[in-house]
Amino acid sequence: MANYIIFDKVNKKLIAKPFKSSGEAFLKKFYIANYVIKTDVTDIGAENFMLNPKLFSKRFVKILAKAGKNGETIVAYEMSSYLSLLFSKRFIINNADIKKEMDLFLNPFELTTDFLADVIHINTFIAAEEVTKHIRENLKHSFAGFKAALYYGTDMREYKQTNRKFDIFFEAINLECAKFDREFTPDGYELLRYSPENAFKMAGSILLDAFDSGADFLIVSDARTFYLMEAKRKEIIQATGREIPIYILTLPQLALMATGTTEKSVLGFDSHKIKPTLFE
């Protein structure tokens, strides 16, 4: 059985609790053994990788090397954290000069870049056979009658192609997925600092596409997307000129609700600006 280690240091500027609380509860409920990495290193946003790949990768190399030495797989609760670790690993192993420089940095810690850990997103577990079996056998809240739109975003195109799809999970909780044209459309987060009006319009086009497709909620996997579509909903409504009464949820939250978890603090609902009321 794999030995999993959790990287839970979500970007401090974002809304982390819906990912961290539900992620921790999900792993516990589905008996996925793990422990949290003890580190002061926080994700600063995968979008910053291209500004200085070497400095960005050095931020994460010790975590990757230590977990790799111990034979551990790193699990990230959300997409930016996952991509930050993954981009760093790839940059190091694909550039010989960078690899040598990183080895010099790691040498005092008795670590090496020869064994950098594998990195996965928590959603990888969602369609696992043992998880869907557990859900079917312990289903407390069916999602029959609800419809969802699953948003991947530009960063998840590769993730969708290289990981199992989530159809088996949606079947297990009786959830219908809407036909959703903007599943890979950029959410606008990277424009938020420089052109907020355009960022709000881009996010709004995704939310409206989901809503107009009949979805009751939008499923996201990235804290950047969640922050933009939750914390900036008022600005998005102003930019689009329409009310958008749709919730933002994560896959671990759905799995927990389906198997009977109702505590808002455990689900992370107490950090949602648009409060989900699916089973109230």
Q: What is the mean pLDDT of each run of 10 residues along the chain (280 residues)?
A: 86 91 95 88 93 97 97 94 96 98 98 96 90 95 96 68 72 93 91 95 97 96 95 96 94 97 95 86
Give pLDDT, residue 162. Answer: 42
What are φ and ψ of residue 54, in 5° steps? -65, -50
Flag whether the pTM goes above 0.85: yes
Question: Crossing angle of helices 17-29/223-231, nearest 10°?
Answer: 130
User: What residue ranges define each of the domains in the chain, with the CATH number in brackets?
Assistant: 3-123 (1.20.1050.140), 124-271 (3.40.50.11810)
Within 8 A by CB and 6+ apart from 110, the residues are none
Cβ(62)–Cβ(106) below 8 Å: yes
Half-sphere exposure of 4 (CA within 13 A, CB side): 20
